[in-house]
Amino acid sequence: MDETRLLEQYPAPVHVDAAEVADRVRESGVTLIVLDDDPTGTQSVADLPVLTRWDQDDLVWALEQGRDAVYVLTNTRSLDADSAAARNREIVTAALAAAERLERRVAFVSRGDSTLRGHYPLETDVIAATLEELGGPVPDGILIVPAFPDAGRVTIGGIHYYRQNGELVPVAETEFAKDATFGFRSSALPEWVEEKTKGRWAAADVTVLSLDIIRSGPEAVAAVLQDARGGQPIVVDVVIEDDIRIVALGLELAEADGKQFLYRVGPPFVRARIGQEIASPLEPAQLARVGADASAAGGLIVVGSHVDLTTRQLAALHREHPDLPAVELSVSAIIDADRRDAHLDDAKARVIEALATGDVILHTSRELVKTDDADASLAISRNVSAAVCEVVAHALRETPPSFVIAKGGITSSDVATNGLEIRHAVVRGPMLPGIVSLWQAVGGPADGIPYVVFAGNVGDEDSLARVVEKFHASAETGVDQTPPAAAPASAPASS
């Protein structure tokens, strides 16, 4: 599908300053609590707090940072449905209690995948039910905004597309639709909603907030939103950031009149919704380990994702740096109880040896081991991820790396939480234009170590190599030891 020809039937884009949205958000005084089903949702924002734990005190800490949004890393995309539901319920309960303690108003965002994978509608259903049970703001509508233009995902006429080789491909025709756990058949979002809700919401009952409406202005958007009732799904067209900003202004108008909304969205929605400018990629001089002496060890590059793009990025990194040592974790050995321990002991020793003299790649074997059972496939993924984290944790204890890059959604979540024991962090900004997030850990054994969260399905073939090169340039030119603007106070010890 030719994008230019497709867009000819719609109004031209309308520019909206991020500052205009930010001013409206400050007037409303609402903080977004973003339940991020893997940590790659942070790649579109900067200077916001991130939690990997969600005790009430953790939410209080995050809200006290005074930002317009707080990210809570749920990692539910790696969980079965019951566990995902329980985790969403826990976080909403803790967030409402924290907000009450601080007398703050909050709204909730369910951050899902821009290629439509994840626990929908389960997560938004659980959030809405918990809000109703606890007396929170019950949503009149559920906005579904999976678009991620920075990474080539756009929605036009209610159909979600993936940009490939200069053409728009309906997302149901991509490899992501064949996901063992979260596969789907429909690219038209109203039909996708009907498919995923098993007919509870018919496609005909799903509202499409089209480019025609959006580019008519915030008042036109608000007029459509005023009709939402009973948690009605509302799918949203997005081609550029300005489209989301207009929707954000329309939401402010509708919510000022008492309407309530819950959001199921891709990464850039939060940035546009709070009026944050699109951050420029971080430069090598900004990649400091803050508040600690620089490590003499090399960097650790962890690759777990099995999507085709990640495999090609790993191959490109090998071509660019053929002497870079690589340690492979065999999936077949990991899931074999008789071979697992010896295999991991060997991997740990090789990683430590390599870190002493430079960078090292730790990657899972490229064959995808799965079953026809969705829960069993998730169990294999969790087993492999646990093995990866065991090696990372050993490296952190023995030879703390100068930086860590984690490639893949579940991989980057588990490495952060279990490998590096990050509880609180700050998003410093993107490593590449609009994509790939750098975190700074606050407290804990990884305090100050630059941590790169790199989704499996973003960037081009050379993106991983470019991120590694930024760290090499940082080491050669020296680093800026100035903490980021939002760096908060030390986190409490883990419970």
pLDDT in tens, 302-340: 998 878 899 999 999 999 999 999 999 999 999 999 999
Residue 416 carries which DSSP code?
I
Confidence of residue 174 (pLDDT cuts 50, 70, 90): very high
Measuring CA to CA, how many Å separate 122 from each of 83, 116, 126, 239? 11, 13, 6, 27
Burial class of residue 2, CB neighbours in 10 A (0-12, 13-18, 19+)? exposed
Asked whether 251 and 261 are in contact (CB, 8 A), the reply is yes
pLDDT tops 80 at residue 210: yes
Burial per residue of 467-481, b for 16 or more beta-carbon CB atoms within 10 angstroms, e otherwise: bbebbeebbeeebee
Confidence (pLDDT) at 180:
85
Kind and range of the H or E run holding 170: strand 167-170
**Strand blocks (E) in 273-345:** 300-303, 326-329
Query: In this structure, what token pair is assigned to residue 396?
Result: 């952190």
Query: In this structure, what token pair is assigned to residue 228?
Result: 């939402």
What phi, psi does 196 have (nearest 5°)?
A: -75, -30
pLDDT in tens, 95-134: 999 999 999 999 999 999 999 999 999 999 999 999 999 9
Does pTM top 0.75 for this prediction? yes
pLDDT tops 80 at residue 483: no
Domains of the chain and any CATH numbers: 3-273 (3.40.50.10840), 284-477 (3.40.980.20)
Q: Mean pLDDT, to the nearest integer, of 16-23?
A: 98
pLDDT tops 90 at residue 477: no
Confidence (pLDDT) at 485:
42
Kind and range of the H or E run holding 424: strand 424-432
Mark out the alpha helices in 106-240 (DSSP H runs): 122-134, 189-196, 211-214, 218-225
Confidence (pLDDT) at 492:
34
In this predicted structure, which of 241-245, 329-333, 342-346 has the lowest mean pLDDT? 329-333
Asked whether 267 and 109 are in contact (CB, 8 A), the reply is no
pLDDT tops 60 at residue 413: yes
Asked whether 43 and 11 are in contact (CB, 8 A), the reply is no
pLDDT tops 90 at residue 166: no
Question: What is the Cα 466 distance to its own chain's centre?
Answer: 20
| Cα-based angle 85, 89, 94 (whole degrees, multiple of 5) | 150
Cα torsion through 416, 58, 136, 118, rounded to 10 = 10
- Rg (C-alpha) for the chain, rounded Å, is 22
Question: CA 217 to CA 194: how far, in whole Å?
Answer: 29
Confidence (pLDDT) at 296:
66
Confidence (pLDDT) at 370:
63
Asked whether 96 and 106 are in contact (CB, 8 A), the reply is yes
% of the chain at pLDDT higher than 70: 93
pLDDT in tens, 260-291: 999 999 999 999 999 999 999 999 999 866 55
Question: What is the Cα 188 distance to its own chain's centre?
Answer: 23
Cis status of the peptide bond prior to 149, with omega within 30 of 0: no
pLDDT in tens, 27-54: 999 999 999 998 888 999 999 999 999 9
* CA 239, 243, 248, 252 torsion-angle sign: negative
Burial per residue of 325-362, b for 16 or more beta-carbon CB atoms within 10 angstroms, e otherwise: bbbbbbbebbeeeeebeebbeebbebbbebbeeebbbb
Mean pLDDT of all residues in the chain? Answer: 92
Asked whether 335 and 291 are in contact (CB, 8 A), the reply is no
Q: Nearest to residue 115, comparing CAs of 77, 165, 143? A: 77
Question: CA 262 to CA 276: how far, in whole Å?
Answer: 20
Asked whether 138 and 132 are in contact (CB, 8 A), the reply is yes
Residue holding tokens 């599908």?
Answer: 1
Q: Nearest to residue 351, comparing CAs of 329, 387, 327? A: 327
Question: CA 307 to CA 31: how far, in whole Å?
Answer: 34
What phi, psi does 453 have (nearest 5°)?
A: -100, 115
pLDDT tops 70 at residue 423: yes
Query: In this structure, what token pair is assigned to residue 475?
Result: 């080491």
Measuring CA to CA, how many Å separate 137 from each of 40, 128, 133, 258, 272? 27, 8, 10, 10, 22
Question: CA 291 to CA 422: how far, in whole Å?
Answer: 16
Residue holding tokens 């019950």?
Answer: 138
Confidence (pLDDT) at 291:
52
pLDDT tops 90 at residue 453: yes
Question: CA 350 to CA 342: how far, in whole Å?
Answer: 13
